[in-house]
Amino acid sequence: MYFDTIDLRSRGASAPSQPRASQGGFVGLRNAEVCVVGAGYAGLSTALHLAQAGYDTVVLEAHKVGAGASGRNGGQVMPGFAADPHALQDQLGVRKATALWGLSVEAVAKTRALAGTTCDIDPKVAIVAADQTGSAEIARAVAVRRDVFGDRQIALHDADSLGRAVGVATQQGGAIDARAFALDPRKYVRTLVQLARDAGAAIHEDSPALRLARANGVWTVETATGCVRAAHVVLAANVDNAGLASDTDRLAAPVRTFMLETSPSPLVGQALADVAAGYDTTASLHYYRRTADGRLQFGGGGWPGRIAPPLAGLYLRREMARVFPQLAHLPVAREWSGLVDVTTDGLPRFARADGLIRLLGFCGHGIALATLAGQLVADAIDDQSDRLALFTRLDQTRNWPTAAGRTAQLAIQSFAPSMARFLKLASA
């Protein structure tokens, strides 16, 4: 089963059953109105909303549905972007930043509605300050969110009060986001697949798009065994898109992040007593959630590039033991990793030209934002609204430099240094 064989190592825990999406690998010549490349949340949500609007839509997925980040993530659904609210305000000004924040709130509500009752929705997410600096950052972010964006569904907590909700070893207070929630990411993939198919979209697994070409106003998307011809193409293939768009890494750098899942234990429910999930302000960016069957999923670390460094699993287990010492003895059932598409400013990179729409740069916030993107794309193609332009008109020039420059910049800025220190010590 695909989800049991993802990177690093599996220790045989049963994974949710694989969504049976495929109408077979794509073979032959097919005319469609829209061809969507990639069956993660962005591609599936696009296909769902287009099919609901009556568009003949074909999805080509290189591997299995949810094979990318959508089947591997931490399941936290929260408003906002990778850029903090105050950074958003500084960068875009109050009006634009408020409009984007409003869209992100809409994205959370839309995700919740689509996930329905089949995705283990679990409310409330904690943002945990690791130190005084983190505490001040959270307070500033909460103030902008409440006072500038008018979003009051978040409350600050001191260390005592936060400690009753989430039992992490060391913390300096933080906030609890009542609008945010957690879900089972793979069940959400399966739900979107079902909804898109019911609406009439055709979804083909094991069908990598190899080439995109446009002639006389029509796009041709070639696979090894056929081609789809369509007026519109939506490229929703994230950063691992096998060279379909050569500038991908300039727009969004691939950063590998790591996750593990423990065996079930009542201690997990005690550690996350009053929140479904949480994340912290450390450079390693720890994130965690409790699953419906009483396991802890714990993620963190980040490594610039596509290749996982050796000992990443060891690093992550050590980090988990530091954050949740009371859970350190729990056997680890599964470990895996995935790629996050990181932009320089934490904002997505959407583009639209000549019938080609690109969706990239969700920066670890893609459950809700990629879901909403599907609606925005369908509305744009159907001429219902041009809210997609709120994103396509963002400054698209703040991109990454060359590959070497990008890696260096990420290594300095991001969570890589703490991993690097660990790897150096571990191999000494």
Ligand X SMILES: Cc1cc2nc3c(=O)[nH]c(=O)nc-3n(C[C@H](O)[C@H](O)[C@H](O)COP(=O)(O)OP(=O)(O)OC[C@H]3O[C@@H](n4cnc5c(N)ncnc54)[C@H](O)[C@@H]3O)c2cc1C
Q: How far apart are the first and last CA of the chain?
A: 37
- Cα dihedral angle (383, 53, 221, 230), rounded to 10 degrees? -60
Is 212 exposed, middle or buried, given 0-12, 13-18 or 19+ CB atoms closer than 10 A? middle
d(C-alpha 373, C-alpha 149), whole Å: 21
Phi, psi dihedrals of residue 91, rounded to the nearest 5° = -75, -40
Per the CB < 8 A criterion, the answer to whether 3 and 187 are in contact is no
From the list 67-75, 80-88, 96-104, 404-412, the region that binds ligand X by CB under 6 A is: 67-75
Distance of CA 402 to the CA centre of its chain: 24
Q: Is 362 in the site for ligand X (CB under 6 A)?
A: yes
Closest approach, Cβ 416 to ligand X, in A, equals: 15
**How is 329-361 classified by DSSP, letter by letter?**
TSPEEEEEEEEEEE-TTS--EEEEETTEEEEE-
From the list 69-77, 98-106, 168-176, 417-425, the region that binds ligand X by CB under 6 A is: 69-77
Q: Which distant-in-sequence residues (6+ apart) come within 8 Å of 384 by Cβ?
A: 53, 378
Helix (H) / strand (E) containing 234: strand 226-235
C-beta closer to ligand X: residue 36 or 268 = 36
Q: Is 305 in the site for ligand X (CB under 6 A)?
A: no
Q: Is 111 in the site for ligand X (CB under 6 A)?
A: no
Closest approach, Cβ 287 to ligand X, in A, equals: 6
C-beta closer to ligand X: residue 118 or 161 = 118
Helix (H) / strand (E) containing 245: none
Q: Is 67 in the site for ligand X (CB under 6 A)?
A: yes
Residue 215: strand, helix, or coil: strand
**Which residues, 151 to 210, sit near ligand X by CB under 6 A?**
208-209
Q: Which of 115, 190, 366, 423 binds ligand X (CB under 6 A)?
A: 366
**Which residues, 314 to 343, sit near ligand X by CB under 6 A?**
338-340
**Which residues, 238 to 277, sit near ligand X by CB under 6 A?**
238, 240-242, 244, 257, 259
C-beta closer to ligand X: residue 173 or 338 = 338
Q: Is 43 in the site for ligand X (CB under 6 A)?
A: yes
- Write the CA distances from 363 to 320, 333, 369, integer angstroms: 22, 27, 10
Closest approach, Cβ 93 to ligand X, in A, equals: 25
C-beta closer to ligand X: residue 320 or 329 = 320
Q: Is 374 in the site for ligand X (CB under 6 A)?
A: no
From the list 6-14, 71-79, 170-178, 324-332, the region that binds ligand X by CB under 6 A is: 71-79
Q: Which of 22, 50, 61, 308 binds ligand X (CB under 6 A)?
A: 61
Count residues contacting ligand X (CB under 6 A)? 43
Per the CB < 8 A criterion, the answer to whether 287 and 323 are in contact is no
Distance of CA 44 to the CA centre of its chain: 14
Q: Which of 15, 34, 60, 126 binds ligand X (CB under 6 A)?
A: 60
C-beta closer to ligand X: residue 144 or 368 = 368
Q: Is 410 in the site for ligand X (CB under 6 A)?
A: no
Per the CB < 8 A criterion, the answer to whether 349 and 248 are in contact is no
**Which residues, 285 to 304, sit near ligand X by CB under 6 A?**
287, 299
C-beta closer to ligand X: residue 27 or 242 = 242
Q: Is 104 in the site for ligand X (CB under 6 A)?
A: no
Q: Is 70 in the site for ligand X (CB under 6 A)?
A: yes
For 9, how many CA atoms within 13 A lie in the half-sphere containing its CB? 12
Q: What number of helices (H) and strands (E) belong to the chain?
A: 13, 18
Closest approach, Cβ 71 to ligand X, in A, equals: 7
Closest approach, Cβ 428 to ligand X, in A, equals: 28
d(C-alpha 83, C-alpha 95), whole Å: 16
From the list 39-47, 166-174, 264-272, 380-388, the region that binds ligand X by CB under 6 A is: 39-47
Q: Is 375 in the site for ligand X (CB under 6 A)?
A: no
Tokens of 428: 């000494």
Distance of CA 260 to the CA centre of its chain: 16
d(C-alpha 394, C-alpha 396), whole Å: 6
Q: List residues near ligand X by CB under 6 A.
A: 37-43, 60-63, 67-70, 72-76, 208-209, 236-238, 240-242, 244, 257, 259, 287, 299, 338-340, 362, 364-368, 370
